[in-house]
Amino acid sequence: MSTIKVETSPIPGQKPGTSGLRKKTHVFMGPHFLENYVQSIFDGIGGVVGKTLVVGGDGRYFNERAIQVILRMMAANGAARAIVGQSGILSTPAASHLIRKRGTDGGLILSASHNPGGPDEDFGLKYNGPNGGPASEGVTNRIYARTTEITSYMISEAQDIDLGTIGTETLGHMTIEVIDPVTDYAALMEELFDFDAIKALLSSGFSLRFDAMHAVTGPYAKAILEETLGAAPGSVVNGTPLPDFGGGHPDPNPIWAKDLMDLMMSPDAPDFGAASDGDGDRNMIVGKGCYITPSDSLAVLAANAHLAPAYKDGLAGVARSMPTSAAVDRVAEKMGIDVFETPTGWKFFGTLLDAGRATLCGEESAGTGSNHVREKDGLWAVLLWLNVLAETKQSVARLMSDHWARYGRNYYSRHDYEAVDSDMANGLVDSMRARLGDMAGQTAGGLKITGADEFSYTDPVDGSVSKNQGIRIYFEGGGRAVFRLSGTGTEGATIRVYLERLEIDPAGMDRDPQEALGPIIAAAEELSRVRSETGREGPDVIT
């Protein structure tokens, strides 16, 4: 093996977003693009000499090619060892677990999460630190700074590594361990949950469908749900990971997981439905005729987690991203535990989990997780739900309605306006920011505004400050509208409008969320003019 130093120059646009760097695949495949970014990661974390990194991805188009490049660059930069999932496959939570279990110096995860894959779609890469979680803002900023000043990268000249065979290979002085991507993760799940109780539930006639959306969770779900827990063969659908996710959009929400939604709303619905995204960290939970919003799922899991062995001693605290509904706050209040409100992005939960201040975390964007890893975890959420259902012996719908009766219902919806011209989107947010100081006391859509601000977060553990994390407007009666620009898109800007209202009247628990939120939706439009400015009749996506 010979090592070469390749001259390069900074490529604009390598600033990581909410979760690593995401770009159109052809951009990532462009000359030096991947190499510049990988070298900047290495430089940004103080080099990789003598280090061990976990490497794997969600199997999307360019996954294996990119891993071959990364391995050659690791070897050339002096890394000691790479732990790689067979065929380059590792779900994001499984990678996080491996980093922790093997005590590595972090890992590189190749994924654009729930974004579509293929030559004309999206690709992504992110670095996770030794705690198994996405790089902190500080590390991310250092990596970005390197991308703007890079002049060369190191790469070795070598044949491709055989990633299809489990075993150990060498590349120069570096050892490459190709491992089964499922084994360690499945063992962790068995430690956390009462598999016997779930087996008993599934053998009692309880039926489920898990839609892996042709993405990474297929092999994990088949091994755990069907082969270990005894779900009927065929319960896992779309279970073979495909480079283009079968042409679909691997995002587990009612729009992109429509087949599952249609089934769950039909007379043939099984007792439980779930789906996960491209890289296996998101989840959607659906009961018979009953969709559970991610915010409600977090609240129900917080209220019932003690029924699973891993959480039997209770929760240290809970954390949610700011735009996530306050449903979990009401549970925390009754339990007398802390609730933390963080900016959007799983990385912000890391310090709280590491410090033992929070046990469960969740986001409105279909993310739920706990201190077992440092990423959100789709299958983990499914298994915790199954464990809770096995213990309570209730249907999903009943568990949810009992929850609302006890804690009240936070009606919630998110409206997305996608591929908006970036200048227009920024202008819209700037205009609201400029008016924030005068809003309190005014009315919009017939609702009185009680407060308005822009969310700024000071991490209670490390003291770091993150500003401009979303515009918040509060209304009389406990309603709220939040506006922020997505940090994960690859085309123009996506404006997200998050709408919420608390209902405590027992007679008002069964309304259509869009109708129950009508006044807040009207007020949000009056204040932002998002529809009139973008010239759209309504949002592109409603979740």
Q: Minimal distance in Å, beta carbon 30 to ligand G6P?
A: 24
> Which single residue brings its beta carbon nearest to Zn ion?
113
Residue 207: which of Zn ion, ligand G6P, none does it interact with, CB under 5 to 8 A by kind? none
Name the one residue in this structure whose structure tokens are 């030559």: 119
Question: Is the separation of the CB atoms in 126 and 105 below 8 Å?
Answer: no
> In this complex, which beta carbon is closest to Zn ion, that of residue 251 or of residue 459?
251
Q: What is d(CA 358, CA 497) in angstroms, rounded to the nearest whole number?
A: 27
Residue 525: which of Zn ion, ligand G6P, none does it interact with, CB under 5 to 8 A by kind? none
Q: What is d(CA 375, CA 82) in angstroms, rounded to the nearest whole number?
A: 20
Residue 367: which of ligand G6P, Zn ion, none does it interact with, CB under 5 to 8 A by kind? ligand G6P
Span interacting with ligand G6P, options 40-48, 262-270, 327-335, 344-352, rule CB under 6 A: 344-352
State the catalytic residue, choosing from 19, 91, 113, 136: 113
Q: Taking CB under 5 A as the criterion, which residues in 27-86 touch Zn ion? A: none
* Contacts of 141 by beta carbon, 8 Å cutoff, 6+ apart: none
Total residues contacting Zn ion (rule CB under 5 A)? 5
Total residues contacting ligand G6P (rule CB under 6 A)? 14
Q: Minimal distance in Å, beta carbon 112 to Zn ion?
A: 9
Indicate the DSSP class of residue 165: S
* Contacts of 302 by beta carbon, 8 Å cutoff, 6+ apart: 315, 318, 328, 331, 332, 335, 360
∠ CA 397-514-506, rounded to 5°:
50
Neighbours of 233 (CB within 10 A): 9
Query: What does the CA dihedral 145, 146, 150, 156 come to, rounded to 10 degrees?
Result: -160
Q: Taking CB under 5 A as the criterion, which residues in 100-119 touch Zn ion? A: 113
Binding mask 41-80 for ligand G6P (x = CB under 6 A): ----------------------------------------
Q: What is d(CA 215, CA 283) in angstroms, rounded to the nearest whole number?
A: 13
| The binder of ligand G6P chosen from 14, 111, 344, 534 (CB under 6 A) | 344
∠ CA 541-382-272, rounded to 5°:
80
Q: Taking CB under 6 A as the criterion, which residues in 15-44 touch ligand G6P? A: 18-19
* Contacts of 262 by beta carbon, 8 Å cutoff, 6+ apart: none
> In this complex, which beta carbon is closest to ligand G6P, that of residue 68 or of residue 486?
486
* Cα-based distances in Å from 359 to 314, 372, 399, 414: 9, 9, 22, 26
Length reported for the chain: 543
Q: Taking CB under 6 A as the criterion, which residues in 358-417 touch ligand G6P? A: 363, 365, 367
Q: Minimal distance in Å, beta carbon 227 to ligand G6P?
A: 29
> In this complex, which beta carbon is closest to ligand G6P, that of residue 17 or of residue 130?
17
Q: Minimal distance in Å, beta carbon 17 to ligand G6P?
A: 7
Span interacting with ligand G6P, options 62-70, 142-150, 233-241, 480-488, rule CB under 6 A: 480-488
Residue 277: which of Zn ion, ligand G6P, none does it interact with, CB under 5 to 8 A by kind? Zn ion
Query: What are the φ/ψ torsions at residue 367 (nearest 5 degrees)?
Result: -115, 130
> In this complex, which beta carbon is closest to Zn ion, that of residue 137 or of residue 277?
277
> In this complex, which beta carbon is closest to ligand G6P, that of residue 248 or of residue 367?
367
Indicate if the alpha-carbon torsion angle 452, 455, 458, 461 is positive or negative: positive
Q: Taking CB under 6 A as the criterion, which residues in 119-148 touch ligand G6P? A: none
**Residue 113 appears among annotated catalytic residues:** yes
| The binder of ligand G6P chosen from 128, 276, 488, 528 (CB under 6 A) | 488
Q: Minimal distance in Å, beta carbon 65 to ligand G6P?
A: 24
What single string gives the DSSP state of each residue in 330-384?
HHHHHHT-EEEEE-SSGGGGHHHHHTTS-SEEEETTTEEEETTSSS--HHHHHHH
> In this complex, which beta carbon is closest to ligand G6P, that of residue 179 or of residue 284?
284
Q: What is d(CA 124, CA 488) in angstroms, rounded to the nearest whole number?
A: 10
Q: Minimal distance in Å, beta carbon 485 to ligand G6P?
A: 8
Query: 143: left (phi > 0), else alpha (psi -120 to 50), else beta?
Result: alpha
Neighbours of 225 (CB within 10 A): 26
| Helices and strands (DSSP H and E) totals, the chain | 18, 27
> In this complex, which beta carbon is closest to Zn ion, that of residue 194 or of residue 281?
281
Asked if 122 interacts with Zn ion (CB under 5 A), we say no
Binding mask 255-294 for Zn ion (x = CB under 5 A): ----------------------x-x-xx------------
Q: Minimal distance in Å, beta carbon 19 to ligand G6P?
A: 4
Catalytic residues: 113
Which residues of the chain form contacts with Zn ion (CB under 5 A)? Answer: 113, 277, 279, 281-282
Which residues of the chain form contacts with ligand G6P (CB under 6 A)? Answer: 18-19, 113, 321, 344-346, 363, 365, 367, 486-488, 496
